[in-house]
Amino acid sequence: MRADFYDRPVLEVAQALIGCVVTHGGASGVIVETEAYHDSEPACHAFVGLTPRTETLFGPPGRAYVYLSYGVHALLNAVCESRGIGAAVLIRALEPLAGVELMAARRGVKPDQRRALCSGPGKLTQALDVTLAHNRSDLRLGPVVISERPARFSDPVVQRDRRIGISKAVDLPWRFCLAGSAFLSAPVRDPAPVS
Protein backbone atom coordinates (compact mmCIF):
# COMPACT_ATOMS: atom_id res chain seq x y z
CA MET A 1 0.00 0.00 0.00
CA ARG A 2 1.34 3.45 -0.81
CA ALA A 3 2.65 5.42 2.14
CA ASP A 4 0.06 8.20 1.81
CA PHE A 5 -2.90 5.93 1.08
CA TYR A 6 -4.60 6.73 4.38
CA ASP A 7 -3.66 10.42 4.48
CA ARG A 8 -6.77 11.72 2.71
CA PRO A 9 -10.51 12.07 3.40
CA VAL A 10 -11.83 9.05 5.27
CA LEU A 11 -14.72 8.57 2.82
CA GLU A 12 -12.25 8.17 -0.04
CA VAL A 13 -10.25 5.62 1.91
CA ALA A 14 -13.35 3.66 2.92
CA GLN A 15 -14.23 3.27 -0.75
CA ALA A 16 -10.64 2.61 -1.86
CA LEU A 17 -10.24 -0.21 0.67
CA ILE A 18 -12.95 -2.32 -1.00
CA GLY A 19 -11.11 -5.10 -2.81
CA CYS A 20 -7.90 -4.77 -0.79
CA VAL A 21 -6.56 -7.68 1.26
CA VAL A 22 -6.15 -8.07 5.02
CA THR A 23 -3.60 -10.65 6.17
CA HIS A 24 -2.80 -11.89 9.68
CA GLY A 25 -2.38 -15.10 11.61
CA GLY A 26 -1.89 -17.36 8.61
CA ALA A 27 -5.09 -16.24 6.93
CA SER A 28 -6.30 -13.51 4.62
CA GLY A 29 -9.42 -12.07 3.03
CA VAL A 30 -10.62 -9.45 0.57
CA ILE A 31 -12.37 -6.43 2.09
CA VAL A 32 -15.98 -6.37 0.88
CA GLU A 33 -17.53 -3.99 3.44
CA THR A 34 -16.29 -0.88 5.29
CA GLU A 35 -17.66 2.07 7.23
CA ALA A 36 -16.20 5.55 7.68
CA TYR A 37 -16.05 7.36 11.03
CA HIS A 38 -14.97 10.98 11.58
CA ASP A 39 -14.61 13.16 14.67
CA SER A 40 -17.13 15.63 13.24
CA GLU A 41 -20.03 13.21 13.81
CA PRO A 42 -21.21 11.64 17.08
CA ALA A 43 -21.05 7.97 16.07
CA CYS A 44 -17.25 8.26 16.00
CA HIS A 45 -15.37 7.52 19.22
CA ALA A 46 -13.18 10.56 18.48
CA PHE A 47 -16.23 12.85 18.72
CA VAL A 48 -15.51 13.24 22.46
CA GLY A 49 -12.08 14.65 21.72
CA LEU A 50 -8.60 13.49 22.64
CA THR A 51 -8.63 10.93 25.46
CA PRO A 52 -6.41 7.92 26.18
CA ARG A 53 -8.85 5.78 24.24
CA THR A 54 -9.01 8.02 21.15
CA GLU A 55 -5.31 8.79 21.02
CA THR A 56 -4.82 6.24 18.24
CA LEU A 57 -7.58 7.83 16.14
CA PHE A 58 -5.94 11.26 16.34
CA GLY A 59 -2.51 9.81 15.62
CA PRO A 60 -0.75 9.20 12.32
CA PRO A 61 -2.69 7.61 9.44
CA GLY A 62 -2.07 4.01 8.42
CA ARG A 63 -2.20 2.55 11.92
CA ALA A 64 -4.68 0.01 13.25
CA TYR A 65 -7.28 1.20 15.76
CA VAL A 66 -8.54 -1.90 17.57
CA TYR A 67 -11.05 -1.61 20.38
CA LEU A 68 -13.37 -3.90 22.29
CA SER A 69 -17.05 -3.75 21.46
CA TYR A 70 -19.67 -4.73 24.03
CA GLY A 71 -16.97 -6.34 26.13
CA VAL A 72 -16.77 -9.21 23.70
CA HIS A 73 -15.47 -8.43 20.21
CA ALA A 74 -12.30 -6.76 18.96
CA LEU A 75 -13.08 -4.48 16.01
CA LEU A 76 -10.45 -3.51 13.43
CA ASN A 77 -10.19 0.00 11.98
CA ALA A 78 -7.66 1.77 9.76
CA VAL A 79 -6.75 5.26 11.00
CA CYS A 80 -7.09 7.93 8.29
CA GLU A 81 -6.38 11.60 7.63
CA SER A 82 -3.61 13.68 9.16
CA ARG A 83 -2.49 13.76 12.78
CA GLY A 84 -4.89 15.79 14.86
CA ILE A 85 -7.94 14.58 12.94
CA GLY A 86 -9.81 11.63 14.46
CA ALA A 87 -10.95 9.45 11.58
CA ALA A 88 -10.93 5.75 10.75
CA VAL A 89 -12.40 3.10 8.49
CA LEU A 90 -14.04 0.12 10.21
CA ILE A 91 -13.41 -3.15 8.37
CA ARG A 92 -16.79 -4.93 8.53
CA ALA A 93 -16.54 -8.00 6.30
CA LEU A 94 -14.09 -10.04 4.24
CA GLU A 95 -14.31 -12.63 1.52
CA PRO A 96 -12.02 -15.44 2.76
CA LEU A 97 -8.97 -15.90 0.55
CA ALA A 98 -6.43 -18.10 2.33
CA GLY A 99 -6.24 -20.04 5.56
CA VAL A 100 -9.88 -21.06 5.50
CA GLU A 101 -9.28 -24.11 7.70
CA LEU A 102 -7.54 -21.99 10.31
CA MET A 103 -10.28 -19.36 10.27
CA ALA A 104 -12.98 -22.01 10.60
CA ALA A 105 -11.21 -23.54 13.59
CA ARG A 106 -10.93 -20.16 15.34
CA ARG A 107 -14.55 -19.35 14.58
CA GLY A 108 -15.86 -22.74 15.63
CA VAL A 109 -17.69 -23.39 12.36
CA LYS A 110 -17.21 -25.85 9.53
CA PRO A 111 -14.79 -24.80 6.74
CA ASP A 112 -17.49 -25.19 4.11
CA GLN A 113 -19.39 -22.34 5.79
CA ARG A 114 -17.18 -19.77 4.07
CA ARG A 115 -19.82 -17.08 4.38
CA ALA A 116 -19.87 -17.40 8.17
CA LEU A 117 -16.14 -16.88 8.62
CA CYS A 118 -15.71 -13.12 8.20
CA SER A 119 -19.21 -11.68 7.66
CA GLY A 120 -19.08 -9.14 10.47
CA PRO A 121 -16.54 -6.90 12.19
CA GLY A 122 -16.25 -9.15 15.25
CA LYS A 123 -16.18 -12.33 13.21
CA LEU A 124 -13.30 -11.28 10.99
CA THR A 125 -11.06 -10.33 13.90
CA GLN A 126 -11.76 -13.68 15.49
CA ALA A 127 -11.03 -15.47 12.21
CA LEU A 128 -7.75 -13.60 11.65
CA ASP A 129 -6.78 -13.58 15.35
CA VAL A 130 -6.64 -9.78 15.52
CA THR A 131 -6.67 -8.60 19.13
CA LEU A 132 -6.47 -5.44 21.23
CA ALA A 133 -2.71 -5.92 21.28
CA HIS A 134 -2.69 -4.79 17.65
CA ASN A 135 -3.97 -1.33 18.50
CA ARG A 136 -1.57 1.31 17.10
CA SER A 137 0.31 -1.19 14.95
CA ASP A 138 1.36 -0.13 11.45
CA LEU A 139 -0.85 -1.61 8.72
CA ARG A 140 1.98 -1.57 6.19
CA LEU A 141 4.64 -3.17 8.40
CA GLY A 142 2.37 -5.64 10.18
CA PRO A 143 1.80 -7.95 11.88
CA VAL A 144 -1.66 -7.06 10.57
CA VAL A 145 -1.13 -6.06 6.95
CA ILE A 146 -3.46 -4.44 4.41
CA SER A 147 -2.25 -4.79 0.82
CA GLU A 148 -3.29 -3.87 -2.73
CA ARG A 149 -6.20 -5.33 -4.65
CA PRO A 150 -5.68 -8.66 -6.40
CA ALA A 151 -6.36 -8.56 -10.18
CA ARG A 152 -9.78 -10.12 -9.71
CA PHE A 153 -10.86 -7.13 -7.57
CA SER A 154 -8.95 -4.42 -9.44
CA ASP A 155 -12.00 -2.36 -10.41
CA PRO A 156 -14.78 -3.12 -7.90
CA VAL A 157 -18.33 -1.84 -8.20
CA VAL A 158 -19.05 -0.19 -4.85
CA GLN A 159 -22.42 0.58 -3.29
CA ARG A 160 -23.07 3.12 -0.52
CA ASP A 161 -25.52 2.61 2.30
CA ARG A 162 -26.28 3.75 5.83
CA ARG A 163 -24.05 2.43 8.61
CA ILE A 164 -25.00 -0.56 10.74
CA GLY A 165 -25.22 -1.05 14.50
CA ILE A 166 -25.02 2.60 15.55
CA SER A 167 -27.46 4.86 17.37
CA LYS A 168 -26.15 8.30 16.38
CA ALA A 169 -25.81 9.95 12.96
CA VAL A 170 -27.76 7.02 11.57
CA ASP A 171 -28.60 8.71 8.27
CA LEU A 172 -25.09 9.26 6.93
CA PRO A 173 -24.46 6.97 3.91
CA TRP A 174 -20.97 6.07 5.05
CA ARG A 175 -21.08 2.29 4.58
CA PHE A 176 -19.37 0.91 1.47
CA CYS A 177 -20.02 -2.55 0.04
CA LEU A 178 -18.75 -4.61 -2.88
CA ALA A 179 -21.82 -4.88 -5.10
CA GLY A 180 -23.28 -8.37 -5.23
CA SER A 181 -20.90 -9.86 -2.69
CA ALA A 182 -22.16 -12.92 -0.83
CA PHE A 183 -19.83 -12.16 2.10
CA LEU A 184 -21.40 -8.98 3.52
CA SER A 185 -22.45 -8.75 7.17
CA ALA A 186 -25.94 -7.69 6.02
CA PRO A 187 -27.59 -6.86 2.71
CA VAL A 188 -27.46 -3.36 1.25
CA ARG A 189 -30.79 -1.91 2.37
CA ASP A 190 -30.94 1.68 1.27
CA PRO A 191 -28.51 2.32 -1.60
CA ALA A 192 -27.19 5.85 -1.98
CA PRO A 193 -25.36 7.18 -5.05
CA VAL A 194 -21.57 6.78 -5.05
CA SER A 195 -19.91 10.13 -5.53
Partner DNA sequence: CATGGGATTGACT
Partner DNA sequence: GTCAATCCCATGC
Write out the residues near DNA by the rule CB under 7 A: 35, 37, 43-45, 48, 51-54, 65, 67-73, 75, 77, 88, 90, 107-109, 116, 120-123, 132, 164-168, 185
Q: What's the min distance (Å) between Cβ of 127 and DNA? A: 9
Taking the least distance from each CB to DNA, the nearer of 20 and 74 is 74
**Least distance in angstroms from the C-beta of 96 to DNA:** 14
Is the CB of 187 or the CB of 193 nearer to DNA? 187
| Helix, strand, coil percent values for the chain (each to nearest 5) | 20, 30, 50
Nearer to DNA, 152 or 168 (CB): 168
What minimum distance in Å lies between the beta carbon of 150 and DNA?
24
What are the start-end ranges of the H helices in 51-108?
55-58, 100-107
| Alpha helix segments (H runs only) across 17-110 | 55-58, 100-107
Least gap, CB of 191 to DNA (angstroms): 19
Distance CA 8, CA 178 (A): 21
CA 58 to chain centre: 17
Q: Which of 154, 167, 153, 165 is nearest to 189 (CA)?
A: 165
Alpha carbons 63 and 58: distance in angstroms, whole number: 10
| 12 class by beta-carbon count within 10 Å (0-12 exposed, 13-18 middle, 19+ buried) | middle
Whichever of 108 and 193 has its CB closer to DNA, that residue is 108
Pairing of strands 64-69, 145-147: unpaired
Nearer to DNA (CB atom), residue 3 or residue 72: 72
Given the complex with DNA, which of 2 and 17 has the nearer CB atom? 17
Evaluate the omega torsion of the peptide bond into residue 143 and state whether it is cis, within 30 degrees of 0: yes
CB of 3 vs DNA, minimal distance in Å: 23
Least separation, in Å, of the C-beta of 42 and DNA? 9
